[in-house]
Amino acid sequence: MKKLDNKEFEERMKVIDALEAEEPTVEDIKAIETAEKEDSADSISLDDYKNHKEYSGKLMIRVPRSLHKELVESAKKEGVSLNQYALYKLAK
């Protein structure tokens, strides 16, 4: 599978966003009804889930390719993973 560059990704997202919303099928509606019946007291609504702020410990950022290359090479020199190296640099 070909990896999309940022421009290709943005173009595909424009096409997807321009599509007309689909109506749920009978099967979709039945599945939703079944899920709602199985709903436990611990569950929350989709809106509540979207609005719930919990810090996962994950941080995703986009960096220039040249910086990415530099960080990977530095991590290799130090004998650690890129994640460990980035954490070290961020903590400094």
Q: What token pair was written down for 60?
A: 């995703």
Please say if the pLDDT value at position 1 is more than 70: no
Rounded Cα distance between 65 and 3, Å, is: 15
40-86 confidence digits (pLDDT tens): 666 777 777 778 777 778 888 888 899 999 999 999 999 999 999 99
The predicted structure's pLDDT at residue 76: 92
Q: Give the Cβ contact number of residue 14 at 10 Å.
A: 9
C-alpha 43: how far from chain center? 22
Interatomic CA distance for residues 75 and 69, integer angstroms: 10
Q: What is the pTM of this model?
A: 0.42
The Cα 74–Cα 66 span in angstroms is 12
